[in-house]
Chain A
Amino acid sequence: MKIKSQDSQFDAAFDAQCREMLSKRSVDAPPMANSTLPEPRKERKLAWVAGAVVLMGVCFGLWIKGEDTRISDSEATAPASLVESASESPAVAAEGTHTELPAATSNQEALKEGNEVTPENEPQIAKEEGLNSELTEGAVGHAVESVRLVPVPNKSGLSATDLHAEPAENSLGSKGTETSSFSVSPTQKERAYEMDNSVPAAVDSPVENTEPSSAPDGNEPVLRLPLTLPSGGGR
């Protein structure tokens, strides 16, 4: 091949000649390596494995979902006794708010059952009830600072704690403080009213003027009252 020129076209002709000679030139190439070919079998195998993994995941998810559904169904079809007990149980219903409710209930029952009016304890009961009514009527919203709960030996079937009211500086009628609220039945109110009429001094200073039967010496007048603590507790 001859290229004749010395001008600027020489380079273009030279390039064209080189392109023509080399572009179609072939050299004995080495045989194709095994790694050159893609491996469709391998890809297919990977696809199978991936599909199996996805299928297992779906099955596991469905199984988990079925378990959840089964648990929720069992909860929905729980025995009626369990549901009733859960709804009616005061301990469960008042959980966190009235934890002492069973004890209070036992106190009331003990009061009803064991605190029977007998000739021996009738005056004491009357005094106690009278004081109780005073606490309810006159001292609602007032505190009895000296009131403390003292376990008392069970004489008349009272298994609960009694209210041990010591003589306090402040009278029960003082205002500006808070106290526990008591629920007093109308019969108790009537009895207290009768006691107030019979013993007028007990109205002004019921604690000091009261001579309970449990303090025969009279040095330390102690008034024992069956107390049912409300939810808020006595302050």
Chain B
Amino acid sequence: MASSEEVKQLIEGCKAQRSFAQQELYARFSGQLFATAIRHTNAREDAEDVLQESFVKIFKHIKSYRQDFSFEGWMRRIVVNTAITHYRKNLKHRHHQDISEIHATPRDLENHTDLEFTADELEHAIAQLPLGYRTVFCMFVIEGYRHQEIADQLGVDVNTSKSQLSRARKYLQRVLATLSARAQSNPSEPHDEGASQS
């Protein structure tokens, strides 16, 4: 993890358009930003495009960055916005998949009392969500957007954002509860059901 002083030096170097500072900044933050891009896109190839485009914007507009905000948060916002733009561009080529069409777990997980899951399982579960639901969930839960901001960014109603978040959350909880229940019933088996579903 880069310290704040090193990050400031990298920012100053990028403002001066020093190639070494730009490469160092990319090496330090590209992993996290790439994970964010993957969550907001359907495929890894799309995530790579979003990442490259996001770094172009970062290097171009880094002079407008103010020190009183988190630099990582600023970069992540750029990635999310770029992913949303990418999503809008390709929206007409995709078929909207409703949450009801997703393969649901057979067990009734309404009575689950606890959830135990790993980051990989959560990633796989999120990857199964339709793109619209996934985008709303990631923007609200991970990136910290408000419903009004999400509605403005995606061009949907606020209530639509709330309903999509609720459905996405319930679906993830069911999937993760299923994985957790199977792990409890058969502790020897690894938690790879989410991966097998994807």
Contacts and interface: CB of A to CB of B under 8 A. Distances in A.
A25 B169 contact: no
A26 B117 contact: no
Given A11-B169, A25-B123, A32-B30, A37 B19 contact: yes
A169 B95 CA distance: 109
A14 B56 CA distance: 34
Interface string A152-169: 000000000000000000
A22 B119 contact: yes
A149 B22 CA distance: 99
A2 B33 contact: no
Nearest to A32: B26
Interface string A12-34: 00110011011111111110110
Given A18-B122, A32-B23, A36-B52, A2 B35 contact: no
B115 A3 contact: yes
B42 interface: no
A126 B35 CA distance: 125
Given A23-B142, A27-B35, A36 B55 contact: yes
A22 B31 CA distance: 12
Q: Chain B interface secondary structure, helix, strand, loop or mixed?
A: helix
B173 interface: yes
Contacts of B117: 1
B52 A35 contact: yes
A47 to B, nearest CB: 13
Interface in B18-47: 19, 22-23, 26, 30-35, 38-39
Interface residues of B, number: 40
B48 to A, nearest CB: 5
Interface string A136-155: 00000000000000000000
A119 to B, nearest CB: 112
B63 to A, nearest CB: 11
B35 A26 contact: yes
B182 interface: no
Contacts of A23: 142
A6 interface: yes
Contacts of B22: 37-38
A23 to B, nearest CB: 6
B119 A32 contact: no
A11 B169 CA distance: 8
- A-B pairs, top 6 by smallest CB distance, nearest first, are A26-B31, A29-B30, A29-B34, A27-B35, A21-B119, A3-B115
21 contacts: A1-B115, A4-B113, A6-B113, A10-B173, A22-B119, A25-B35, A25-B119, A25-B123, A26-B32, A26-B34, A27-B38, A29-B31, A30-B34, A30-B48, A32-B30, A32-B55, A33-B52, A36-B52, A38-B22, A38-B56, A38-B59
Interface of B: 17, 19, 22-23, 26, 30-35, 38-39, 48, 51-52, 55-56, 59-60, 111-119, 122-123, 126, 138, 140-142, 144, 169, 172-173
